Amino acid sequence: MRADVHQVADGTYLVHGSNTNWVLLTEGDAVTLVDTGYPGDREQVLASLAEVGSSPEAVAAVLITHAHNDHLGSAEYLRAAYGTPVYLHEAEVPHARRDFLQQVSVGTVLRNGWRPGVLPWVAHALRSGGTTHNPVTAPSRSRRRVPWTCPGGRCPCTRRATPTGTAPTTCRAPVW
């Protein structure tokens, strides 16, 4: 399956993968990858890099918004294969290493979150490695919050990291 790449600003590409999104930020020959989809999305991640004229070797950094498998799927691959640093908010580092896992189970979703579309999502998550043990063995921590420009200006919301995971907001703005 091919990823759907959309240029949203100069050097900024939003990529719609199979059931997840990631962002490519390009500057010259360098690329910063924000999130990496599910483990099973690796070929789409690599194809999206090629589509914007880049390669995995050119990825200067991977920024992970939070350490669920649908966000850090190829982060360890890029770190191990290409030496790409993987950055997360310091509270998410133990989660990325899998010192603990805070992620809803498939069983919980099926028991408590039933609604139309759940079964296809569960099937996709299972096929794409959403329940695999997928740690980032050497993530880099950051205490710095990086501003994220949302369409129409700077977004006022943030994603606050906690020791047990993240408190989601209505915005997908990453905080490192």
- CATH number assigned to the domain comprising residue 75: 3.60.15.10
Domain assignment present for 120: no
Radius of gyration for the chain, computed over Cα atoms and rounded to the nearest angstrom: 16
Whether this prediction's pTM lies above 0.75 is answered by no
Mean pLDDT, residues 4-30 taken together: 92
Q: What total of structural domains would you count in the chain?
A: 1
What is the domain extent for residue 62? Answer: 4-101+134-167
Domain assignment present for 121: no
Mean pLDDT, residues 32-41 taken together: 92
Q: Where are the alpha helices (DSSP H) in the chain?
A: 42-51, 69-72, 75-82, 93-97, 106-112, 118-127
* The pLDDT of residue 165 is above 60: no
Domain assignment present for 65: yes
- The more confident residue out of 126 and 59 is 59
Report angle CA 93, 47, 136 to the nearest 5 degrees. 15
3-state secondary structure of 154: strand
Please write the tens of the pLDDT for every residue from 78-134.
Answer: 999 999 999 998 888 888 888 877 776 667 766 776 677 777 777 777 777 777 777
Domain assignment present for 67: yes
Mean pLDDT, residues 137-141 taken together: 78
